[in-house]
Structure 1
Amino acid sequence: MSSDHPTYPTSLGVSDLHTISLMGQDLSADLIGKVSFGHLAYRLITLQEPTEGQARVFEAVLVALADHGFTPTAISARMTYLSAPESIQGALASGLLGGGSRFLGVSEDTGRFLADALAGVEELPTTTEGWDELAADAVRRQRAAGRFVPGLGHHLHKQGDPRIAALYGVAHEAGQVGPHLALFEAVGRVAEEVTGKALPLNGAGACGAALADIGIPVELLRGVVLLARCAGLLGHIAEEVRGNHVAADVFADVERHAVYVDPPAPARGEA
């Protein structure tokens, strides 16, 4: 290669005829069989070696977000596989593409909300009362702007998301409860008084807070969520492959019960 040929710098992976390296280490000699997938994913995202506590929280979040039953994204993956069984990548992609503000995007939205609330704080609170005051102010400002408070409420777990206690337990044991998790916990304490609604904290929001506390950039939070959910989506597709044809049943049920209705009349003044 001539000395004046352009180069393409990367701190991730490079390969040549005989070797593959990741982050400056030999993939075969230094990484395969010696680090977990979660450990490697954290390093690829941050370019930092995770501490034992960071790695534990990261792995816990991946487990917490892997699957949540027949969500729209899981149904989408199954339905796409039914339509195109030759394209497993299409089925996985269809489920991942559904990650948005209602499903899978909540972790990122919560992380951004918490990061914005913390951005203007010169000195972090040292008491429960101080955290509650900061949380109440953040919730009020969010509502005044006409926006939902992310991380509150769940379509199914109306009386509390069972993942919350487990995630906070791991974070405490690992010494990784930072300002995002502290503020999110405070949001849960003050939300009902500020909003007038009893909305419990949800696991997706806690995952966003936990990831932010272990150094995952806010703009990459949804990517970690999708990484975790990919495993769950693959599990749903695997069930279809094994003969548990939920997608076919859904399709048949909708098709049998579809009924024609006349379109609504145009509103007065419309052409």
Structure 2
Amino acid sequence: MTDGKDVADWWRTAIIDMEPGRIHLRGHPVQDLIGHTSFAQIIWLLVMGEKIDGPRAALFEAALVAAVDHGPQAPSIAAARMAATCGVGLQSAMATGLNMLGDVHGGAGEQAVALYQRALESGPDNLAQTLNTWRMEHGSYLPGFGHRFHKPVDPRAPRLLALVDDAASQGAVGGQIAMIARAIERHLVQERGKPVPMNIDGATAVIYAELGCPPPLARGFFGLSRSVGLLAHAWEQTEQGGRNKGPTPPAYRWTYDPD
């Protein structure tokens, strides 16, 4: 016989403590959080294990807001809309889109945080070498910079960087990551002779890195943010109707290539 601890210890968590009539989230009674804690703040509390408030909370919420949607041409949104026409429920449609987020679509924020951290550790005087080493390891693409649609500027990036500057002026964040990101942007202009603007991934990565998030969490938070767009588009498509919608109208056909 055992005392049951072998079963209780099967799952160990510091996130929630619960018994009939009592729910504590990270040590805080849930009734004390309801009405006093924003959704963004509760996300931070559960994931990071600490409260966030003031300019830091505003920065985190801004990053979540900025990445909610990028239209039906984004693979994740398109997948959710197509799924919504296939007879599945909203949660399944959202999950279909969420599962499209990978290293290429959805992973740039995580990669940008890692790039910023490496550049910060190497120092601004070694930026060119840091970027060259990154490219040798990961390919020519620098995560967080350039956009196939938003040219010459991604309208979200300057606003997010301005919020980082405001928070830094109040001592809420250090501002070093923002300086590194801007240095990379300037380096790319010199390197290519034309602007290579910071995009949404690069700007939100600045915020997440300034707040002390490990790189993988930047991708996780992006998935949370994009889930809002997934829900909105899946619901809109459900209301619009349609059955078994594919990626293109039926009159368009694929290229048959037997070779």
Q: TM-score range by the shorter chain?
A: 0.7 to 0.9
User: Given the alignment of the two structures, is residue 215 of structure 1 paired with residue 212 of structure 2, yes or no?
Assistant: yes
Q: TM-score w.r.t. structure 1 length? A: 0.83
Which residue identity lines up with residue 98 of structure 1 in the other structure?
M
The Cα shift of 1:143 comes to 2.6
User: Given the alignment of the two structures, is residue 72 of structure 1 paired with residue 75 of structure 2, yes or no?
Assistant: yes
User: Given the alignment of the two structures, is residue 192 of structure 1 paired with residue 189 of structure 2, yes or no?
Assistant: yes
Q: CA RMSD in A?
A: 2.4
Residue 93 of structure 1 corresponds to 95
Which residue identity lines up with residue 255 of structure 1 in the other structure?
P
CA distance in 1, matches of 2:68, 2:255: 38
Runs of at least 4 residues off by over 6 Å = none
Residue 164 of structure 2 corresponds to 171
Which residue identity lines up with residue 119 of structure 1 in the other structure?
E
The Cα shift of 1:231 comes to 0.7
Residue 16 of structure 2 corresponds to 13
CA distance in 2, matches of 1:146, 1:226: 22
The Cα shift of 1:173 comes to 1.5
Provide the identity percentage: 29
Gap runs ≥5 in structure 2:
none
Higher alpha-carbon deviation: 96-105 or 60-69: 96-105
CA distance in 2, matches of 1:220, 1:255: 40
The Cα shift of 1:177 comes to 5.1
How many residue pairs get aligned? The number is 250
Residue 133 of structure 2 corresponds to 141
Q: Is the 8 A contact 1:152 1:199 kept in 2?
A: yes
Which residue identity lines up with residue 190 of structure 1 in the other structure?
H
Map Cα deviations across residues 35-91 of structure 1 (whole Å, 9 max, x no partner): 001011111121122141210100000000111112111010010111133x32221
After superposition, residues 12-161 of structure 1 pair within 5 angstroms as 12-28=15-31, 30-70=32-72, 71-85=74-88, 87-121=89-123, 131=124, 133-145=125-137, 147=139, 148-161=141-154
Residue 127 of structure 1 corresponds to none
Gap runs ≥5 in structure 1:
122-130, 265-271
Map Cα deviations across residues 238-259 of structure 1 (whole Å, 9 max, x no partner): 211222x4x7595384432115
Q: Is the 8 A contact 2:84 2:238 kept in 1?
A: no
Which residue identity lines up with residue 104 of structure 1 in the other structure?
G
Residues 134 and 252 (structure 1 numbering): CA distance in 2 closer, same or farther, change over 3 Å? closer
Larger Rg, first or second structure (1 or 2): 1
CA distance in 1, matches of 2:182, 2:120: 14
Q: TM-score w.r.t. structure 2 length? A: 0.87
Q: Is the 8 A contact 1:171 1:177 kept in 2?
A: no
Q: Is the 8 A contact 2:59 2:163 kept in 1?
A: yes
Residues 134 and 161 (structure 1 numbering): CA distance in 2 closer, same or farther, change over 3 Å? farther
Residues 157 and 13 (structure 1 numbering): CA distance in 2 closer, same or farther, change over 3 Å? same
The residue matched to 1:15 in structure 2 has which SS? strand
Map Cα deviations across residues 196-250 of structure 1 (whole Å, 9 max, x no partner): 664211121110121111122212110000011101110101211222x4x7595
